[in-house]
C-alpha cells in the first residue's frame, strides 16, 4: 500500500498558508509506516513543536491502473473515507525555505490517520460532499468537495500518469482551510455528511 497525498487543492487553504496557487496538482507521498494503527492515539513527535492537523477526504483504490482516462477513473475506486494528514509545520517551513522535499515533515511515523471507509454509492454526489473535523467538541475545519481545484476523477487521471495505482492504495485529496496545531489531550473527530468517520486522541 502506498499513500499519495495532494497538496494545495483548496483555494482558501492556499491563502491561509500564503502559498502560490499551483497550475497542476501538488503530490507527495507518505510511507506505510506513517499510518496510525487502529485504536492507537496520535503521539506528538519530539522533533517538532508545531504539529498541525489537516482533515482530508480519502479514496481507496480498488484495482490496478496506469494512465487512467478521466472518464474511466470512477471504475478504479469503490470506497471513500476520511483521515488526517499530520504535518510538522515548523519543519515543513524550514524545508520549503531551502527548496528541499517535505517528506520529513509529512511522512514521519504516525503522520497518517485513516478512518473508516464506506461504499461510495452511499454518499451521493462525490463532487458535493460536506466533511468536517471537531477539536475538543468545536468545529475547526469544514469543507465541501465542490471546492476542490481538482476533483477525485481528475486526481486519479493525473496521479496515474506518474504512479501505477494498486489495490489498497489511498489518496489523500487535500485539506480545506482551518488547519491548526494539536496539543496533548486533544480529541479529534471527523465527519462526512454529519456521520462520524473517526475519533482520535492526541498524546
Which domains are assigned to the chain? 3-201 (3.90.850.10)
d(CA 192, CA 196): 7
pLDDT of residue 13: 62
Residue 129 in this model has a pLDDT that exceeds 60 = yes
User: Mean pLDDT, to the nearest integer, of 78-83?
Assistant: 98
In a 13 Å sphere around the CA of 156, the CA atoms on its Cβ side amount to: 25
d(CA 76, CA 169): 11
Give the model's confidence band at 20: pLDDT under 50 very low, under 70 low, under 90 confident, else very high.
confident
Are 60 and 169 spatial neighbours (Cβ–Cβ below 8 Å)?
yes
Q: Cα-flanking dihedrals φ and ψ of residue 79, to 5°? A: -125, 145
pLDDT of residue 79: 98
Convert the pLDDT of each residue in 138-170 to its tens digit: 999 999 999 999 999 999 999 999 999 999 999
pLDDT of residue 14: 57
Q: What angle do CA 34, 114, 16 make, to 5 degrees?
A: 85
Q: In whole angstroms, what separates CA 64 from the centre of its chain?
A: 21
Q: Rounded to 10 degrees, what is the CA torsion of 196, 189, 172, 99?
A: 170
pLDDT of residue 70: 97
Beta bridge partners of 53: 180
d(CA 136, CA 200): 10
Average pLDDT over all residues of the chain: 95
26 contact partners, CB below 8 Å, separation of at least 6: 6, 7, 8, 9
Question: Between these two residues, 202 and 23, which has the higher pLDDT value?
Answer: 202
d(CA 182, CA 131): 19
Element housing 83 (H / E): strand 77-85
pLDDT of residue 11: 74
Give the model's confidence band at 44: pLDDT under 50 very low, under 70 low, under 90 confident, else very high.
very high
Q: Is 199 helix (H, G, I), strand (E, B) or coil?
A: strand
Share of the chain above pLDDT 90, in %: 91
d(CA 86, CA 182): 9
pTM over 0.75: yes
**What is the length of the chain?**
203
User: Mean pLDDT, to the nearest integer, of 76-86?
Assistant: 98
d(CA 8, CA 24): 10
Amino acid at each position: 500500500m502506498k499513500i499519495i497525498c495532494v497538496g494545495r487543492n483548496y483555494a482558501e487553504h492556499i491563502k491561509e498558508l500564503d502559498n502560490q496557487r499551483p497550475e497542476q496538482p501538488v503530490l507527495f507521498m507518505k510511507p506505510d509506516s506513517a499510518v496510525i494503527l487502529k485504536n492507537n492515539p496520535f503521539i506528538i513527535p519530539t522533533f517538532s513543536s508545531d504539529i498541525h492537523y489537516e482533515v482530508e477526504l480519502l479514496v481507496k483504490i480498488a484495482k490496478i491502473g496506469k494512465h487512467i482516462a478521466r472518464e474511466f477513473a470512477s471504475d478504479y475506486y469503490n470506497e471513500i473515507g476520511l483521515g488526517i494528514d499530520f504535518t510538522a509545520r515548523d519543519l515543513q517551513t524550514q524545508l520549503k525555505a531551502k527548496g528541499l522535499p517535505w517528506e520529513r515533515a509529512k511522512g514521519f511515523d504516525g503522520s497518517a490517520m485513516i478512518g473508516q471507509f464506506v461504499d461510495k454509492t452511499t454518499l451521493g454526489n462525490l463532487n458535493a460532499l460536506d466533511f468536517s473535523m471537531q477539536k475538543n467538541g468545536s468545529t475547526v475545519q469544514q469543507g465541501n468537495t465542490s471546492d476542490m481545484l481538482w476533483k477525485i476523477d481528475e486526481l486519479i487521471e493525473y496521479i496515474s500518469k506518474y504512479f501505477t495505482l494498486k489495490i489498497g492504495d489511498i489518496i489523500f485529496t487535500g485539506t480545506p482551510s482551518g488547519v491548526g496545531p494539536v496539543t496533548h489531550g486533544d480529541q479529534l473527530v471527523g465527519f462526512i455528511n454529519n456521520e462520524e468517520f473517526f475519533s482520535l486522541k492526541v498524546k
